Amino acid sequence: MGKAMKKNTKMSYEIGELDQYLFGQGTHYEIYKKLGAHKAKKGKKEGIYFAVWAPHAQEVSVIGEFNQWDRTASPMKRHEPLGIYDCFVPEAKEGMLYKFCIRTQEGEYLYKADPFANYAEVRPGTASRIVDIEDLKWTDSKWMKDRETWDHNHEPVSIYEAHIGSWKRHPREEEDGFYTYREFAHEATAYIKEMGYTHIELMGIAEYPYDGSWGYQVTGYYAPTSRYGTPEDFAYMINYFHRNKIGVILDWVPAHFPKDAHGLANFDGAPLFEYADPKQGEHPDWGTKIFDYSKAEVKNFLIANALFWVEKFHVDGLRVDAVASMLYLDYGKEDGQWIANKYGGNQNLEAIEFFKHLNSVVLGRNQGTMMIAEESTAWPKVTAEPEYDGLGFSLKWNMGWMHDFTEYMKLDPYFRKGCHNQMTFAMSYAYSEKYVLVLSHDEVVHLKCSMINKMPGLGFDKFANLKAGYAFMMGHSGKKLLFMGQDFAQLREWSEERELDWYLLAEEEHRQMQAFTRDLLHLYKKNKALYECDVMPEGFEWINADDRERSIFSFIRHSKDDKKNLLFVCNFTPVARPDYRVGVSRRKQLRLVLNSDEKQYGGTGAERPVIYKPKKQECDGRPYSIGYDLPPYGVAVFEF
């Protein structure tokens, strides 16, 4: 009885026995409400409650602006069995900087940022900052309600991948010139709506120290980066996107973390978040630490973090970075640098189990959200359900398609006939997973050239090639992703150090490229045939996949009811094909809905009919056909 009474007098903000039990089991999905720094009241005193997991530490104290960074001023109490330390500091106030001072078993002192902090000082500073995110303002209830019944399998998903710090910048030389979350929300929304994208994917949101890592080496998993404003500003941005019917996807990095002294590496003087053995716990190529997926608390840290972004900040999906590096124990390693699993194989069994747990919980608790895998190998069942031995992701980036597509597009048109199958091969495995076709930031950095400069030829040829490529991509099965700047043919490679070359839009050919991409995106969004049956073979039909001599591809996209279908014809050579014949199965008239030869797209503007009536003339194994004057690099899309 006495024990029960004692338990009831425990303040609600404090770590309790149940919290420790659930965290130790890896199932405390809201552990971020307990660990970290939170506003609290002890008796009549208001202050901040601090808690941190540091089982290897001899002692821990919290230091900050509230105690002149004195490591003896605010000692923390240890709680067993997990080694969580906590304390209440009445002098601590919102906005103040703090760190945890950890005395290791060897007697050294480490000064660590809070792993659960919701805000950090702007780099190069490394301290955490106290902030209250309990009462964020949301007015996106309609979006959130509609999301519960939204199904990505049968809805349009066209993603604008963006990096806030280099999208646009203010011309302020004495500062970074970054747009704030609020400024970016307004300007990016206007652009996305005009262009016709359905989602924005944001690179590098969780706090990170080094700009050149683009946000893929995280030190603050629970803090939106302070480069662009406060957590409240970040919530405003998400809310604004939702009010304008734009979904938000964040890049999320559970694969590895950097070795920065204030971060997670050797957090309490010993490997805690990472595997202890360097053969398991380090990426030799990246110079980073690998999370220890065998530890329940580490898995809990990551799964709760995914839920934090989705549930606390209303994010609609997470694009999980570097999945392959987690699945393979020998990823990026030479013989002797890695340890096999208990069966002697190179699969990380603990990471596999982590993914199944992660995706089951995030998607199970949040209907209508997406978990997207950036997985670059042929690992099976990435998007299959965990009960069928799948990893449980909603979608997978189609890196195979991306590689084949870019290699084909780089070729001189004369040689494309020899590599014709690079454009058709992806359809042979299109239904083995649920795919996103991606032309991401990775394809336009590190001397890979921008998309326009991958194209062969000069001037008109480059732009016409890219238009044909984008049309093929939009017609192909799979969701779509395009990195910022590529929709108006950015000439230079992307760099995080400068804004996009928006000045190019003063030139006609770049405006024409943008107009063509915009109209493709709107065509995609408003035609069910282009997304409704993405995951079903009946949604795609080749008309002619074998016209290699002329490097022309023709195919149909079908809607569920088969009432409004689209026929694509794409010419990948500079040779005009007058009266190019395309076979059709029915004698139904076709209407030309997109023609790359229009003046507004940089074409000749030659007049041509809008309506085409099939003749009884066999072609492509079909009883009827239409003839169309296909220009050099010409694209035509017909509705029937």
* Best CA proximity match to 557, nearest among 494, 475, 479: 475
- Which pair of structure tokens corresponds to residue 220? 């603050």
User: Which phi and psi (to 5°) does residue 31 adopt?
Assistant: -60, -25
* Best CA proximity match to 121, nearest among 111, 109, 132, 113: 113
User: Which phi and psi (to 5°) does residue 554 adopt?
Assistant: -135, 135
Decide: 612 and 581 in contact? Cβ < 8 Å. Answer: no
d(CA 12, CA 16): 8
d(CA 262, CA 117): 13
d(CA 289, CA 261): 12
d(CA 628, CA 616): 15
Q: How many other β-carbons are positioned within 10 Å of the β-carbon of residue 71?
A: 19
* Best CA proximity match to 451, nearest among 385, 513, 371, 376: 513
350, 374, 433, 532: the active-site residue: 374
114, 251, 321, 499: the active-site residue: 321
321 is known as an active-site residue = yes
d(CA 57, CA 102): 6
DSSP codes of every residue in 436-503:
EEEE-GGGGSTTS--HHHHSSSSTHHHHHHHHHHHHHHHHSSSEEEEETTGGGT--SPP-TTS---GG
The alpha carbon torsion through 326, 332, 334, 335 (nearest 10 deg) reads 20
* Best CA proximity match to 323, nearest among 354, 300, 362, 280: 354
| Parallel/antiparallel/unpaired status of strands 435-439 and 479-483 | parallel
Decide: 369 and 317 in contact? Cβ < 8 Å. Answer: yes
Identity at 236, one-letter amino acid code: Y
- Which pair of structure tokens corresponds to residue 58? 């001899």
d(CA 480, CA 485): 15
User: Which phi and psi (to 5°) does residue 616 adopt?
Assistant: -80, 80
Helix or strand or coil: residue 305? helix
Q: How many other β-carbons are positioned within 10 Å of the β-carbon of residue 190?
A: 11
- The residues annotated with a catalytic role in the active site are 321, 374
